[in-house]
Amino acid sequence: MNEAFERAVEDVKVLKQRPGYGVLGDVYGLYKQATVGDVNIERPAFFDLPGRGKWDAWSKKKGLSKEEAMIAYIDLVEDLKERYGFPEIM
């Protein structure tokens, strides 16, 4: 599982097209949940919009086990590879 997760982490970095912020939030939230667990920091200040967005995306995944988050992350990245394109290996 960890090997497939690490591969998905690398694959998402080379999609042919960049997903929208909502999808990127899902990617971030699942990654943090899989690697750290439930959100363990305070929500950033009001004026830190990117930080708040990341925190909110991570917080939405609260309660998922690390294994569940890894599986969901891998599934999401596979879907993104189909939707946004992925460089073929020669």
**Per-residue pLDDT tens over the stretch 47-63:** 999 999 999 999 999 99
- Identify the CATH number of the domain in which residue 8 sits: 1.20.80.10
Comparing C-alpha atoms, which of 56, 79, 89 is closest to residue 8? 79
Residue found by looking up tokens 């946004």 in the block: 84
pLDDT tens digits for 6-42? 999 999 999 999 999 999 999 999 999 999 999 999 9
In a domain, 89, yes or no: no
Host domain of residue 24: 2-40+53-84
Q: State the DSSP code for 44.
A: P
What domain count does the chain have?
Answer: 1
CB crowding 37-72: b at 16 or more within 10 Å, else e? eebeeeeeeeeeeeeebbbebbeebeebeeeebbbb
In a domain, 62, yes or no: yes
